[in-house]
């Protein structure tokens, strides 16, 4: 999971980034619109509401240890 930033703001909420979550085994990709300025709590809620609530708790999460993941 990682962020893609630097996008032109779009949509009624002016999203300017997205959180990309790749599934290891199915090779699927979920792209969740967000804001570049989102905090660790915002990211946790985004992950909880869109991934854990629909797919369940993952066994492992691989990230690049961005401060938003480690704070």
Domain limits, the chain:
2-70
- pLDDT score, position 63: 78
The tens digit of pLDDT for each residue in 42-52 reads 988 999 999 88
Q: Partners of 15 in the beta sheet?
A: 10
Beta strands in 25-69 (DSSP E): 29-34
Element (H, E) at 68: helix 67-70
| Cβ within 8 Å of residue 37, ≥6 positions away | none
Mean pLDDT along residues 12-41: 90
pTM: 0.77
What distance in Å separates the CA atoms of residue 20 and residue 33, rounded to the nearest whole number?
9
pLDDT at 71 over 90: no
Q: Which of 25, 33, 7, 14 is nearest to 62 (CA)?
A: 25
């Amino acid at each position: 999971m990682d962020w893609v930033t630097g996008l032109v703001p779009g949509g009624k909420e002016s999203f300017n980034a997205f959180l990309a979550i790749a599934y290891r085994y199915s090779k699927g990709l979920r792209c969740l619109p967000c804001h570049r300025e989102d905090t660790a709590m915002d990211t946790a809620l985004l992950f909880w509401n869109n991934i854990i609530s629909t797919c369940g708790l993952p066994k492992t999460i691989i990230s690049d240890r961005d401060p938003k993941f480690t704070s």
